[in-house]
Amino acid sequence: MSSALKHRWSTANNYLAGITLDRWIELLRENPISPAYWHRAAFVTAAACMNSFSARKERKLDPEIRATELTGPPLFILGHWRSGTTHLHNLLALDTKNFAFSNTYQVVNPLTFLTTEETNTRRFARLVPNKRPMDNMAMGFALPQEDEFAPCLDTLKSLYLGISFPKRQEHFDRYLTFDDVPKAEIDEWKDAFLWFCKKLTYKYARPLVLKSPPHTARIRLLLEMFPDARFVHIHRHPHDVFRSNRHYWDTAAWYTYLQRPDRSQLDSQLLGRYRTLHDAYHAQRPLIPPGRFHELSFHELETDPLSALRSVYEELDIPHFNTLQPTFEKYISSQSSYRKNRFDRLDDATRAMVNEVCRPELELWNYDPDQS
């Protein structure tokens, strides 16, 4: 029944608002919209028409963007969804001496942001809530955001499209690791991602700090593109990750559905994705050269963020930490009133299921399997 569809009439929080008309039509050919969400499709269609017009104008900059060289190797923040990657990204994005970052407007408008950002962030500010629906962290056009959305909208090759089109989630899930994906599709994604990085470099002329949980399963691909890249990985107790991901799918996901979801297998889907991502991470982690990788826990970042940041800078040989320390301290102090979500203890059967799937991580990072 339509009454069971949370936030059915909302058109907010929808990353597809930045798609162009050609890509939107291509997406619709194989992904029919459920009647309950036709109004969302109409909203995306109207936005796509405007985006296509702006994209044609922005193509005039193509020669300059093509000639742009990255000013230094990017720093990638890795970690499963709901492991603290956003908090770490927000902190590192304060470092404007060393880095630039992709913001919310840019990742959902990858083909138009150079020419539309200044105007549209004022015009459409009300479409972006002040807080994220799943955890009440600050949200806004100018704040750091996952770069995954940019090549997603440019190539339609992202597991995130499975959130909007759950009937084909298995098809889109291939793009988490890109295993068994044809080389032509991989090359298309790599070209689009590099193009986005060049556009950011064209705008900011600084090395990039980039965060997307799917990158955790793509270390090999990233090193093929950026051999000198640096990586910082953050992990969290699997019980907390599982409960927080459950909450995400019961809050934020409802804003982007374009097909009626079948959520009867949600827990097994979450755990399957957890296993796929971490298996790829463990297999590819040794490919990173010495001195270009650092790992920390969410607990470290939560309890002593300044020391955790200092260790990142020292291990990855990033300069200017002492100069930046007052900036970090001010931001950390500003977050003192933030309260993260609290969840009920997992029931025995679910805890046993999570422990079985996540056993390698429980043992590797010494997490208590009986934690509530």
- Identify the pLDDT of residue 131: 67
| DSSP classification of residue 136 | -
**Distance of CA 316 to CAs 73, 304, 309, Å?**
12, 19, 11
* Average confidence score pLDDT of the chain: 94
Question: What are the pLDDT digits (tens) for 261-320?
Answer: 999 999 999 999 999 999 999 999 999 999 999 999 999 999 999 999 999 999 999 999
The whole-angstrom separation of Cα 233 and Cα 298 is 10
Confidence at 226, pLDDT banded by 50, 70, 90 = very high
> What pLDDT, on the 0 to 100 scale, is given for residue 340?
66
Task: Give mean pLDDT, residues 107-132.
Answer: 84
Q: Is the distance from CB of 43 to CB of 19 less than 8 angstroms?
A: no
Contact 295, 232 (CB under 8 A): yes
- Indicate if the pLDDT at residue 370 is higher than 80: yes
| pLDDT value at residue 2 | 39
CA-CA distance, 273 to 300, in Å (whole number)? 25
Give dist(CA 340, CA 146) in Å, integer: 20
What mean pLDDT do residues 178-194 have? 98
210 φ, ψ to 5°?
-125, 140
- Of residues 137 and 240, which shows the higher confidence score? 240
CA–CA distance, 150 with 140 (Å, rounded to integer):
17
- Answer whether residue 128 shows pLDDT above 50: yes
Mean pLDDT confidence for 193-209: 98
Give the pLDDT confidence of 38-64 residue by residue, as tens digits: 999 999 999 999 999 999 999 999 999
Q: Which domains does the chain have, with CATH numbers?
A: 2-364 (3.40.50.300)
Q: What pLDDT is attached to residue 3?
A: 45
Judge whether residue 200 has pLDDT over 80: yes
Cβ atoms of residues 248 and 134 within 8 Å = yes
Among 35-44, 61-70, 244-253, 337-346, the range scoring the smallest mean pLDDT is: 337-346
95-104, 147-156, 316-325, 334-343: range with lowest mean pLDDT: 334-343
